Structure formats: C-alpha cells, structure tokens
Amino acid sequence: MKKIKKIKIKINGSFKFIKDNTNLSDLLKTLKIPLKKVAIELNQEILDKKKLNKQILRNNDKIEIVHFIGGG
C-alpha cells in the first residue's frame, strides 16, 4: 500500500502534520474557521480569501489566522 506523504506546517504558532498537496481552503474547512471573520497570512504574506483553494501548502509553511478580540 502506498504511504500517504505528510508535511509539517506551523499554524498560529503550533506545528501540525497534514497530507501533502492539501490546499489551504480544505485545511481551514477542517479546522472550522469562519472565513468571514478572519484574515490569513501565509509565510507573512496576506492571502486573498477568495483564492485559498489555489493555495497548495508546502513543507514548513507558516500560517497565521487572526480575528478581532476585545482590546483597548
């Protein structure tokens, strides 16, 4: 049986192993991220939320997902 290749990514500061060739849109769906309420950075570059399905994740990618919280 063919072994599924996994890659290591960092998401909001924590490491995560995911299947190779995963696109960002699918990953965010799995994580149940409410897209309308967040902004996403991949390796310090802000991504267009409409094009996440075209963004294939690579080994060592760093993702930041942020939203608004209470603050002064």
Partner 1 sequence: MEAVSLKKDKFIIAGRNFKSRLIVGTGKYKNMSQCAKAVKLSGASIVTVAVRRVNISDKRKALLMDYIDPKKITYLPNTAGCFNSKDALRTLRLAREIGGWKLVKLEVLGDKKNLFPDMIETLKSTEVLSREGFKVMVYCNDDPLMAKRLENAGACAIMPLAAPIGSGLGIQNDTNIKIIRKQTKVPLIIDAGLGQASDATIAMELGCDGVLVNTAIAKATKPFNMALAFKNAVIAGRQSYLSGRIQKNLMGSASSPSKGII
Residues that bind partner 1 (CB under 8 A): 11-14, 31-34, 36-41, 44, 46, 49, 64-72
Report the residue number, 3 or 72, with the smaller CB distance to partner 1: 72
Which residues are CB-contacts of 15 (< 8 A; sequence separation ≥ 6)?
Answer: 8, 9
| Least distance from partner 1 to the Cβ atom of residue 70, Å | 4
Buried b (16+ CB within 10 A) or exposed e, 21-34: ebebbebbeeeeee
| Least distance from partner 1 to the Cβ atom of residue 2, Å | 29
Report the residue number, 4 or 69, with the smaller CB distance to partner 1: 69
| The two three-digit tokens of residue 54, written as one number | 């075209």
